[in-house]
Amino acid sequence: MSKNCRVFSLKTPSKQKLLLSTLLIASFLNAESIDEALEGFDDEPTTTQTAKKSSTTKEDDIMEGFDDEPANEIKLLDTIKKESKFKDFTGKLTEQATFSYNDKDPHDNLSSLKSSLLLDYEHKFDNGFKLKTNAKAYYDAIYSIRGRDKYSKDELKEYEHEIELYDAYIEGSLADNLDMRLGRQVVVWGRSDTIRITDVLNPLDNRRPAIVDIEDLRLPVGMAKFDYYVGDWRITPIAVVEQRFSKNPPAGSTYNPSPNSLPSDESYSDVTPALSIGAEFSGWDINLYASNLHNDTGYFKNGKLHHDKVKMFGTALNVLSGSWLFKSELAHFDGLKYTATQDKTFKRTDGLVGVEYKGIADTLISYDVSLRRVHSYDNALKNNPIPVQKNTYQQAFRISSDFLNATLHANYLISLFGEKLDEGGFQRAWFKYDIADGVYTNVGVVDYIGGSKLFDRVHNSDMLFADISYSF
């Protein structure tokens, strides 16, 4: 018997007497004698259908028709069924404005007024397979408002408007221990939320650096991914069938004041392999990585950006102890080429250690430090358009906390380069507030810190930003 029916329990004598008395009183009110009141109690119904017909009362007449669906309700249900194909669609509308309080015309003051739409379609089939696809479009009205003739053609091409297909894949189980996902997708290697060490499969949209986190910057890539499970271990072979590279700030923009247009990427149509082997145990997990991908950075040659293949071997280890998570990543690259004038290729080893602490209610604190070391270093690399250092240090500190019943989310991140933290970086503080169900606003500031050739050219591009989004 369910919890909701326990109030009708008749285990006690007093309740039994109360029920019997109630039945007798009701019978006497509707019958001329006790015999008439109790008439039929010992009879057995011939059939269920006959019993139902003979038990018709005035109450049955009153309730008659309540179980029937009126014609207009039937039409409404049919309409809902016809329109149910739209239930798999979700989306988000966003209005964002940025204000540059330390830059030069035309990127000063109100520097962006962008409207964006994200549409997402996800459908699950009866056999367990799932189809997912989403696309994003945006339009920045600031260029029309302030005058398109003030901006470079490269900036207008990259920033004014865009329509792009993002995720587009189908996934499902081929067997009890074998899953697959085919199509454009994001696959994250490693654990750090700020510094990329083993996370090499997806390029980034760096056109507006430091405005958002890496998780919102990754560009999906066409892949065929399979997950094969053996005990606690997961073996994941991947075939990268689409070769994409990171998007960088266009010439003439606030993040790239150079008048020279960036060279286009050399196109590639080959299939490149990658492999991940990992397992999760009580209190710790480990992953091993290997790939032979086109180097995302590349080098200039004949007016284009070439991306030779680079071998990568790496690992990531995470250990959980109470409120502490200790993480580490290590990656070794072989076949790096930084300039077309040198036939020599280089090897580089990247390492990271970090810690996350969740011992404070509704608060996450993390700290990561990394070192990238180029082996057999050549001093000529310092003269590259983007200088290459023998040792590149980066540190990142992040704190996030929730307030007001998790409706207000406060965040702070600082990322600095250099062994002595003196080679530039940025810091960002932002607040997200849930206004209502599906409606939230985001307000923040980005401070770019000079100290190197790369960051000195943007250190006067500090930004205030605010947006409001509606999810449906």
Rounded CA separation 225/237 (Å): 6
Range of weakest confidence among 136-145, 171-180, 305-314, 379-388? 379-388
pLDDT of the residue at 257: 87
Helix, strand, coil in percent for the chain, rounding step 5: 20, 45, 35
d(CA 429, CA 443): 9
- End-to-end Cα, the chain, rounded Å: 41
Alpha carbons 183 and 221: distance in angstroms, whole number: 8
Mean pLDDT along residues 134-144 = 97
Q: What pLDDT sits at residue 55?
A: 43
Beta-ladder partners of 276: 236, 289
How far lies 382's CA from each of 258, 337, 338, 372, 458, in Å?
19, 14, 10, 15, 20
Which token pair is 341? Answer: 């004038």
* Alpha-carbon gap, residue 95 to 140, rounded angstroms: 10
Give the pLDDT of residue 470.
Answer: 98
Q: Residue 14 — pLDDT band, cuts 50, 70, 90? A: very low
Quote the CA–CA distance of 395 and 418 in Å, as a whole number.
8
Highest mean pLDDT among 58-62, 225-229, 340-344: 225-229
pLDDT at 83: 53
Helix and strand element counts for the chain (H, E): 8, 21
pLDDT tens figures, 17-71? 444 444 433 443 344 443 444 444 444 444 444 444 444 443 444 444 444 444 5
CA–CA dist 440, 471 (Å, integer): 9
Whole-number Å distance between alpha carbons of 151 and 141: 13
Residue scoring higher pLDDT (61 or 449) = 449
463: amino acid identity, one letter: M
Looking at 84-186, which runs of residues are DSSP E strands? Answer: 89-100, 109-124, 130-140, 161-175, 178-185
Answer yes or no: is pLDDT of 351 > 50: yes
Tens-place pLDDT, residues 234-254 = 999 999 999 999 999 999 999
User: Are β-strands 264-265 and 304-306 bridged in parallel, bridged antiparallel, or unpaired?
Assistant: parallel
CA angle at 444 for the pair 438 and 447, rounded to the nearest 5°? 155
Backbone angles phi, psi at 15, to 5 degrees: -70, -35
Higher pLDDT, 311 or 29: 311
Total residue count of the chain as it appears in this document: 472
H or E stretch covering 353:
strand 346-357
Tens of pLDDT, residue by residue over 176-220, are: 999 999 999 999 999 999 999 999 999 999 999 999 899 899 999
What is the signed CA dihedral for 261, 267, 273, 277, rounded to 10 degrees? 30
Question: How high is the mean pLDDT of the chain?
Answer: 86
Using 50, 70 and 90 to split pLDDT, how confident is the model at 316? very high
Of the listed ranges 44-48, 219-223, 279-283, the one predicted with least confidence = 44-48
Rounded distance between C-alpha atoms, residue 228 and residue 231, angstroms: 10
Neighbours of 462 (CB within 10 A): 18
% of the chain surpassing 90 pLDDT: 72
Instruction: Report how far residue 426's alpha carbon sits from residue 424's, in angstroms, rounded to the nearest whole number.
Output: 7
- % of the chain exceeding 70 in pLDDT: 82
- Residue 382: the pLDDT is 87
pTM of the complete model beyond 0.85: no
Q: Is the pLDDT of residue 307 over 90?
A: yes
The predicted model gives 121-136 an average pLDDT of 96
pLDDT, tens digit (0-9, with 9 covering 90-100), for 69-93? 445 554 554 554 445 567 889 999 9
Domain architecture of the chain: domains with CATH? 95-471 (2.40.160.10)
